Chains A and B, each alone.
With several copies, the nearest count.
Chain A
Amino acid sequence: MTTTPQAVRRASPRTRPAATTPDPAHGLLPAGEPVRLLDPTGTPLPAHPDYPEPPAEALSELYRRMVIGRRFDIQATALTKQGRLAVYPSSRGQEACQVGGVLALRDTDWVFPTYRESMALVSRGIDPVEVLTLLRGDWHCGYDPAARRTAPQCTPLATQCVHAAGLAYGEAHQGRDTVALAFIGDGATSEGDFHEGINFAAVFKAPVVYFVQNNRYAISVPLSRQTAAPSLAHKGVGYGVPSEQVDGNDPIAVLAVLTRAVAHARAGNGPFLVEAHTYRMEPHTNADDATRYRDGAEVDAWRDRDPVTRLETYLRDRGVLDGPTAAAVAEEAEAYAADLRARMNTQPAVDPLSLFDHVYASPTPQLVEQREQVRAELAAARDEDGDA
């Protein structure tokens, strides 16, 4: 325990400290500009002092998963129009973040996604039908979070930030070097749970990367109604958490920054905050009418920074990607979508009595009673159907 009063320890009594006092925020503030390794057209910028470019194989894989991710997203949107999904929040335009985020991790790491991260989850290798269970409506979470080391997609905004802190601390407590990556949107940073989560992670030095996809809107609420801060990354210093901004439509920069953030966390230095500046090209969900709150010119301007094209241009220019490879990736994406389409074509069978199975480890007497009631109702309904 400190026994010297901080206020006293810090200054000498008779002289006013010079302006050159070491800055206590040093190393915590983000750079004033988002990290960017490619320009919007895909042309490489001069090498970045802090962020070396990831190896070529990683970039090829990034590209492949982004192409598949986008195709998945388009397919899911189409399935929604056909009534196969109850709702779908698209992440088109955010492919660099969705894929870059999970590519920076090991399989043993944990992901804490939001409803927006379907693409990230398929990119992590989870069966797309399992990913879409929630949105299709046959149950809530369709995959096994423990097996996939991926929390259920989180709808109550920012609540996952605290879970990530707990999980990461718990893993470290048990001697494992797991990192937790918590996705969060710009809007959700306004929730108290963002604050509490990142603060817990910082105080307990939990290995969490908080990854804000700032897509400039929370449904219709623009960023200006969310914060007056210079950037969302500037929140880090208030928790003693180093932070960085990155161009979220520059896939290489996203991967580079997240790779470093994950390494920072894994090395035992506590959490790291990354804000990616990006844009969702589609409405909030299929139920949203984005023309009510943003104009076409804005959307078009972002179309020019398409992360997939940007990476493709760069990889082709560098000779890492050639025509046949690109075609093969496109074909793989088509096959992926076709398979998904086919498997989503049938209505899933859901047993109404399963409603009582997982409320508690074993049902309470009250639930047993209610299950019998429902069983009787179902039997009666079947009888009636039989009669008719």
Chain B
Amino acid sequence: MATTTMAKALNAALADAMADDERVLVFGEDAGQLGGVFRITDGLQARFGDTRCFDTPLAEAGIVGFAVGLAMSGLRPVVEMQFDAFAYPAFEQIASHVAKLRNRTRGALSVPIVIRVPYAGGIGGVEHHCDSSEAYYAHTPGLKVITPATVGDAYSLLREAIADPDPVVFMEPKKLYFSSAEASLPARTEPFGRAVVRRPGRDATLVAYGPAVPVALEAAEAAREEGWDLEVVDVRTIVPFDDATVAASVRRTGRCVVVQEAQGFAGVGAEIAARVQERCFHALHAPVLRVSGLDIPYPAPMLEHTHLPGVDRVLDAVARLQWDDQPDPRWLAEGSAA
């Protein structure tokens, strides 16, 4: 097995999809000759020509809406948003058309579009370049929302996204683009809709996705010293969500911490926490806790490490999971407990 990076795996997935299916078109700002600012589309224009991989005007609603039209003509567009916050101009096209066209037409039109969004921070990026925007899409029925955390998943999930009959918002954790791993491509990993236990453990479950997965794994490693054996579940596909795998893990361990990089309020982690306690209430020894980014606009590079949930913040949460079966005093702080 060779060593490769997530960026290269994504590039290979695009190339292989284009080679296999001439209906696949790849485009966006700088996606053509430059190969994208992260080089994810590197070499595609040279190999497949500039009618299959090309630059567009700087207009994100335009890019997504153009993809809608292309899909209506029978093509399979894969578009690149340059950074998370720069997909916001396309929000109406995504929420009112991409997500709804199949539904509006009783299935007569489908919109097999992939919208690739490099997201989240940890790269020292300046403002507007590090937003975690997955919750906006996950809250929008009709979209599938996928986020790989490993090199193999990057390849496999992107291939699946392109082949999928539904629109997929494909969230790429940009801080993982250039971390390398052993992987042989083409890889086939678990399909859409399946979460994966990345590390088995008995004492508590860390549920994480995208950029938070390596943090959770590192925390699980560090937790050994404290005597905790933590299981780590990688969500992989936020929509559709894999309740079975997550609930099974939490029922086994009896404790759960959800880890996400995004600001916490009304995020995906809230959904996961709500689902887990709905489904595993009687198995839980403690409330489901959440570790997330702060509820602030993504900060400047010199302050991002304070914002980002790191190993310590995860371990702090694990420590609050009532190992001695004493309730955390803060749950009793206000009002009277029943």
Contact = CB atoms under 8 A, between A and B. Distances in A.
Classify A-B as touching or not with yes or no (CB < 8 A).
yes
Contacts of A174: 73-75
B223 to A, nearest CB: 16
Nearest to A356: B296
B303 A220 contact: no
A388 to B, nearest CB: 15
Contacts of B306: 352, 355, 374
A199 B105 contact: no
Nearest to B95: A156
A144 B66 CA distance: 21
B34 interface: yes
Contacts of B55: 220-222, 225
A357 B102 CA distance: 10
A364 interface: yes
Interface in A183-208: 187-188, 190-193, 195-197, 199-200, 203
B66 A220 contact: no
B106 A360 contact: no
A348 interface: yes
Interface string A317-357: 00000000000000000000000000000001010101111
Given A152-B105, A159-B97, A200-B62, A137 B300 contact: yes
Scoring A139, A146, A171, A370 by chain B CB atoms within 10 A of each residue's CB, the highest score goes to: A139
B73 A358 contact: no
Nearest to B35: A292
A325 to B, nearest CB: 37
Interface string B84-115: 01101100110011000111111111100000
A86 B66 contact: no
Contact of B69 (A155, A168, A188, A190): A168
B216 interface: no
A83 to B, nearest CB: 11
A11 B108 CA distance: 47
Contact of A166 (B70, B193, B296): B70
Nearest to B62: A196
Contacts of A140: 103-105, 126-127, 300
Interface string B258-294: 0000000100000000000000000000000000001
Contact of A200 (B37, B66, B77, B241): B66
Contacts of B66: 162-163, 165-166, 169, 200
Contacts of B301: 86, 137
Interface string B287-330: 00000001111011111001100001100100000000000000
A370 B62 contact: no
A99 interface: no
A195 B127 CA distance: 24
A167 interface: yes
A18 interface: no
B134 to A, nearest CB: 16
Contacts of B93: 159, 162, 193
B312 A380 contact: yes
Nearest to B237: A364
Contact of B65 (A110, A146, A162, A227): A162
A165 B69 contact: yes
Interface in A262-302: 287-288, 292-293
A200 B33 CA distance: 18
Nearest to A384: B312
Interface residues of A, number: 80
A7 interface: no
Given A146-B108, A359-B295, A360-B142, A221 B58 contact: yes
A8 interface: no
Given A145-B108, A156-B128, A200-B59, A169 B295 contact: no
B186 interface: no
A53 interface: no
Contacts of B85: 156
A169 B102 contact: no
Nearest to A288: B37
Contact of A293 (B34, B89, B242): B34
Contacts of A146: 72, 108-109
Nearest to B112: A361
Interface in A115-157: 134-141, 144-147, 151-152, 155-157
Contact of A199 (B62, B70, B108, B165): B62
Given A156-B128, A162-B62, A292-B35, A377 B313 contact: yes
Contacts of B180: none
Contacts of B86: 156-157
Interface string B146-169: 000000000000000000111000
Contact of A134 (B58, B127, B296): B127
B30 interface: yes
B30 A166 contact: no
Given A174-B74, A366-B240, A200 B56 contact: yes
Contact of B59 (A135, A151, A196): A196
Nearest to B96: A156
Contacts of A145: 72, 105, 108-109
Nearest to A173: B51
B144 interface: yes
A219 interface: yes
A167 B72 CA distance: 6
A178 B72 CA distance: 13
A365 interface: yes
Contacts of B57: 187, 190, 196, 199-200, 203, 221, 225-227
A64 B71 CA distance: 35
A96 interface: no
Interface string A85-99: 011000000000000
23 contacts: A135-B126, A141-B104, A159-B92, A159-B97, A162-B68, A165-B65, A166-B68, A178-B73, A180-B69, A193-B61, A193-B89, A196-B59, A199-B62, A218-B58, A220-B32, A221-B58, A292-B34, A358-B105, A359-B103, A364-B239, A364-B241, A377-B312, A377-B316
Interface of A: 86-87, 110, 134-141, 144-147, 151-152, 155-157, 159, 161-171, 173-174, 178, 180, 187-188, 190-193, 195-197, 199-200, 203, 218-222, 225-227, 287-288, 292-293, 348, 350, 352, 354-361, 364-367, 370, 374, 377, 380-381
Given A170-B75, A352-B306, A366-B295, 6 more contacts: A137-B124, A137-B126, A167-B70, A187-B29, A196-B61, A221-B55
List of 6 A-B pairs having minimum Cβ-Cβ separation, nearest first: A166-B69, A162-B65, A170-B73, A137-B301, A196-B62, A364-B240
